[in-house]
Amino acid sequence: MSGMPSTRPAVAVAGAGLRGTAYARRMRESGRGRVVAVAEPDPGRRARFAAEHGIPPELAFAGWREMAAAGRVADGVVIATQDAEHAEPAIAFAGLGCHLLLEKPMATGEADAVRVLEAVERAGVMLAVCHVLRYTPYTRALRELVRAGRIGAPISVQHLEPVGWWHHAHSYVRGNWRREDESGPMLMTKSCHDVDWLVHVMGEVPARVGSFGRLTHFRPENRPAGAADRCTGCAVEPDCPYSATRLYLGCLGDPEREEWPLGAVTRDRTEDGVLRALREGPYGRCVYACDNDVVDHQVVSMEFPSGATASFTMTAFSPFAQRQTRIFGSAGCVEGDGVRLLVRDFVTGEVETIEPGGGREAPDGRHAAADDALADAFAEALASGDPSALGSDGRQSLASHRVVWAAERARHAGTVVDLTPPPAKGTAIP
Ligand SMILES: NC(=O)c1ccc[n+]([C@@H]2O[C@H](COP(=O)([O-])OP(=O)(O)OC[C@H]3O[C@@H](n4cnc5c(N)ncnc54)[C@H](O)[C@@H]3O)[C@@H](O)[C@H]2O)c1
C-alpha cells in the first residue's frame, strides 16, 4: 500500500453500528477519508456519529433510503447495515455512481447477490465486500508462499475456525445471527470469511462441496435442571459456561471488551446498567431457552478443480482464538495459527518460522488490524480510482459466496453439490 493519498475522498456511512463506526473512525484517524454523511435510524447513534465526524444535520439521515434520495452525497458509501439490508442499498448507491464498501454477506440470497454484482458492473463502480481476512499481512504471506511454490503443489488443507464458546453464545445463540430467517446460515454469517479465505489462498474456487453440521448443544433439551429463563437470578448460573452475567459484567473496566461484546448489549457501562440489560434484553437469556436455530458446529469438504481437497471445521466449542490452518503440498507443508507460519521443506526437512506481523492483530482472534487495512484500502481506491488496492472485486465475492450457498444445499440435502460456473460474464478469479 502506498503512502497517504493526496486527495481525501468523501465517504458516507449507511448503518452507524459497530462496523460502520469502526470503518469511519479509521478513515478519520488515518486522515485518508472524509466522512461526510451518515444514515442511521437510531437517533442516539446517529447523533454520536455525526458529532464525531462533524456531519451537519442535513447530511445525517434517518435511513439509507433517505440518504439515497438525496443523490450522490459521497464518492463512496460504507454499507454496514444488518445482513438483510445489504443488497437493496448496494444496488441503490451503485445506481447513484457511488463506490461501495459492503459488509458481508453481499446479500442473504444468491439471486440478490447476482443483482448486486450486475448493478455494480452496470454502474462501473468499485465494490469491495468486507472480506477482512484478505487484508492481513499473515494472509498475504501465506498466499504468496503457496503461489511461489514453496510447498510444491498444495494438495490437502485442514482449516479450523474456533468461534469460541462465549462468542458463539453472544452472537449465534442470543444475538443478531442466531436465526437463519433473520440473517442467514452460520456458514454465511460467520464462515463466509473462511470459505472466501480458502478460495483466496488456494487460488481456485472449489468444484464440489459437501457439508455436515447441526445445532447440537444449544437446545431446550440440554437445559440443566433448575435453570431459569435468564441468567440473572438463575440458581445454576455460577456453574454454567455460558453465564451472561459472568461474560458481560466481566467486560466492565476493559475498554475493548466494553466496546465489544458489551457494546451490543448496552451502552450503560455500569454494573446496574448491565444487569438491567440482562434482565430485560435478549443477551440475558438462558442459552437453552432462546429462539436460535443456527448450527453450533459444521464441517465443509471441498474439492478444487486441481484435485486439491480442503476440510473446514467451524465449532462453538473452543477458545475464542485465531483460525488455524495446515496446507500440505507435494514438496512441503505449512502450518499457521493466525500469527505465525511454520514452513517445512520436504527436501531439507527444515522448518522456517515466518512471523508476518500485522500491528493490532489481537491474539484472541479479533481482526482490528485487518479492519483498518480494509478501510485504508477502500479510501486509497477511492482517492486513486484504482481498484488494485482492494483485496477482491464483486465477481470474486460472488464466487466465494456461491461456495457457501452450495455447501448449505449439500448439508440440507445430505449430498455433494457441483458448483456451476458463475452467472456473470467471464470466469471468476480468486
Ligand atoms: N466483516 C466482518 O468481519 C464483520 C464482522 C461483524 C459484522 N459484520 C457484518 O456487518 C454488518 C453490521 O454489523 P454490526 O455488528 O455493525 O451491526 P449493528 O447492529 O451494530 O449495526 C447495524 C446498524 O444499521 C442500522 N440500520 C438499521 N436499519 C437501517 C437503515 N434502513 N439505514 C441505515 N442504517 C440502518 C442499525 O440501527 C444499526 O446501528 C452485518 O451485516 C454483519 O454481518 C461483518
Q: For residue 53, give the 3-state DSSP assignment.
A: helix
Answer yes or no: are the C-beta atoms of 169 and 242 closer than 8 Å: yes
The single-letter DSSP state of residue 173 is I
Cβ within 8 Å of residue 198, ≥6 positions away? 157, 159, 302, 310, 312
8 Å CB contact between 353 and 347: no
Closest CA relative to residue 63, chosen from 35, 33, 43, 91: 43
Q: 374 CB less than 6 Å from ligand 1?
A: no
d(CA 356, CA 235): 47
Closest ligand 1 atom to 20 CA: 16
Angle at 133 between CA 132 and CA 134, to 5 degrees: 90
Q: Is 167 in the pocket of ligand 1 (CB under 6 A)?
A: no
Which atom of ligand 1 has the smallest separation from the CA of 263? 20
State whether the Cα torsion 158-159-162-163 is positive or negative: negative
Nearest residue by C-alpha to atom 34 in ligand 1: 15
Three-state DSSP at 112 gives helix
Regions of the chain short of the pLDDT cut 50: 1-5, 359-366
For residue 227, give every residue at least 6 positions away whose Cβ sits within 8 Å of its Cβ, in sequence order, or none: 234, 235, 236, 240, 286, 288, 289
Helices 394-413/110-123 angle, 10° precision: 170
For residue 255, report the distance from its CA to the centre of ligand 1, in Å.
21
Give me 227's grid cell: 435453570
* Ligand 1 contact, 81 CB (< 6 A): yes
Q: What is the DSSP letter of 395?
A: H
What is the number of the ligand 1 atom nearest to the C-alpha of 39?
33
Ligand 1 atom nearest residue 83's Cα: 41
Whether 18 is in the pocket of ligand 1, judged by its Cβ within 6 Å, is: yes
Residue of minimum CA distance from atom 30 in ligand 1: 63
The enclosing H or E element of 147 equals helix 137-147
**How far is the C-alpha of 24 from the C-alpha of 374, rounded, in Å?**
11
Whether residue 105 is preceded by a cis peptide bond, meaning omega within 30 degrees of 0, is: yes
Which H/E stretch holds residue 95?
helix 87-95
Q: How many CB atoms lie within 10 A of CB 402?
A: 23
Q: How far apart are CA 68 and CA 190, in angstroms?
A: 29
Closest CA to 56 of 47, 44, 64, 68: 47
Q: Is 80 in the pocket of ligand 1 (CB under 6 A)?
A: yes
- Contact (Cβ atoms closer than 8 angstroms) between residue 322 and residue 363: yes
One-letter amino acid identity for 268? D
For the Cβ of 19 lying below 6 angstroms from any atom of ligand 1, the answer is yes
If you measure from the C-alpha of residue 376 to the centroid of ligand 1, how many angstroms do you get, rounded to a whole number? 19
For residue 125, which of 387, 376, 425, 371 has the smallest C-alpha distance?
Answer: 387
First to last CA, the chain: 20
242 CA → ligand 1 middle, Å: 25
Distance of CA 299 to the CA centre of its chain: 18
Atom of ligand 1 nearest to the CA of 16: 39
Q: Are strands 351-354 and 332-336 parallel, antiparallel or unpaired?
A: unpaired
By most ligand atoms within 8 Å of CB, the mutation choice from 13, 67, 82 for ligand 1 is: 82
Sheet holding 332-336, edge to edge: 351-354, 341-345, 332-336, 324-329, 154-162, 309-315, 297-303, 208-214, 417-418
Ligand 1 centre from 20 Cα, in Å?
7
83 CB within 6 A, ligand 1: yes
- 130 in ligand 1 pocket by Cβ < 6 Å? yes
- Using the mean position of ligand 1's atoms as its centre, give its distance from the Cα of residue 83 in Å: 7
Which residue's C-alpha comes closest to atom 29 of ligand 1? 63
**This prediction's pTM:** 0.92
Determine the Cα–Cα distance for residues 310 and 199; give it in Å rounded to an integer. 10
Backbone φ and ψ of 166, nearest 5°: -75, -35
| Domains of the chain with bracketed CATH | 10-125 (3.40.50.720), 134-218+293-418 (3.30.360.10), 220-284 (no CATH)
The rounded Å distance from CA 328 to ligand 1 centre is 37
Closest residue CA from atom 6 of ligand 1: 19
- Grid coordinates representing 347 are 527436501
Distance, CA 189 to ligand 1 centroid (Å)?
Answer: 12
Is the CB of residue 132 below 6 angstroms from any atom belonging to ligand 1? yes
Q: How much is the pLDDT for 423?
A: 52
Confirm or reject: Cβ of 169 under 6 Å from ligand 1: no
Vertex 10 angle, CA 7 and 12, to 5° = 160
Q: Atom 21, ligand 1: which residue's CA is nearest?
A: 17
Instruction: State in Å: Cα 104 to ligand 1 middle.
Output: 10
pLDDT value at position 425? Answer: 53
Res 58: pLDDT = 98
219 lines ligand 1 (CB under 6 A): no
pLDDT, residue 369, reads 84
